[in-house]
Amino acid sequence: MATNRTTDKVTNGQTETKTEARRSSFSRFFDRNGHEKNVPPPAPVQGPPKSVVREYFESAVVTVVMALFGMTFIVQAVKVPTGSMQNTITIGDHLLVNKFIFAPGASLPFLPQREIRRGDIIVFKYPGNKYEPDRDQRPDNTPILTNYVKRVIGLPGDRLRIVGKDVIVNDEVLPEHRITVEERSEKAPLTIISESQPRPEDRYNVYHKPFFDSDGRERNAFEGQDELIVPPTSYFVMGDNRDNSEDSRYWGFVPRDLVIGRAMFVYWSYDESAPPTGYGLLVDYFVNTRWSRTGTLVK
């Protein structure tokens, strides 16, 4: 009997404790009339503080990821090492290229995308010279790896002829503003000798020497024909410095999948033809930088 009483007492005590716990829990959220109380949310659990090294590391990772994304899909920086586009683009110009505008696939109406047009200045991977493969042995002229900058002259399906200085597309002479120049230094801009008044229809400038010496080279792309037709998904490109440009006349067409994007503007330009000042690289940077070309739109 003593054992039973002890058991009953312990059991009743546990029951009373559980009942009080329920009442206490109920009273935290409801008043005596059963209405819900406005209970403040629990305080957030804070983890251990971040170290300075960890914060810098996370910031660096985010910056690198954003930079790689931008360089892959949006913009790319390129340097112009040759004078095939003088004076539109000068040797030493550093350009930003819009890679998004000519993105492959169908263009959506709410995105800044469009097809390549005649007159666009594009940056593309050099396709190689199948007519003169020996010219691709130079380390600065490696097919697919070397970037070129040229102006689009012929679109897919265009019929194209070149007669003297006239570029004839689909039986019409392209409206180009011709300027007569001479080259006084290999890396300096061309010196203008004479130019006519530009016509309203002239969309861009092209530069010719008074007397052009072709150094015996043939326009290989024509292969002895007077006229050629631009293949589908390909483009015929030429440099604005017409008498000093390795372009589609000599090595052929640019396939669409080799086009990187459209040249936008000059973000920095360094005059490589200027002599060093003798006061160090920092002084050379400020003296020989073409500050007036910074921000120049390429068109």
Domains belonging to the chain, first-starting first, are 75-293 (2.10.109.10)
Residue range 171-230, pLDDT digits in tens: 999 999 999 999 888 889 999 999 989 999 999 999 999 987 665 567 899 988 889 999
Paired strand residues for 95: 78, 266
Residue 13 has pLDDT above 90, yes or no: no
Residue 142 has pLDDT above 80, yes or no: yes
Confidence of residue 43 (pLDDT cuts 50, 70, 90): low
Total length of the chain: 299
Q: What is the dihedral of CA 114, 118, 123, 127, to 10 degrees?
A: 110
Residue 70 has pLDDT above 60, yes or no: no
What does the radius of gyration of the chain's CA atoms come to, in whole angstroms?
35
> For position 97, what pLDDT does the model report?
94
| Average pLDDT along the chain | 82
User: Is 235 within 8 Å of 116 (Cβ atoms)?
Assistant: yes
Residue 11 has pLDDT above 50, yes or no: no
Residue 76 has pLDDT above 70, yes or no: yes
Tokens at 149, concatenated:
């900058």
Q: What is the C-alpha to C-alpha distance for residues 276 and 89, in angstroms, rounded to an integer?
A: 22
Q: What is the C-alpha to C-alpha distance for residues 118 and 16, in angstroms, rounded to an integer?
A: 91
Residue 149 has pLDDT above 80, yes or no: yes
Residue 107 has pLDDT above 60, yes or no: yes
Q: What is the C-alpha to C-alpha distance for residues 226 and 60, in angstroms, rounded to an integer?
A: 57
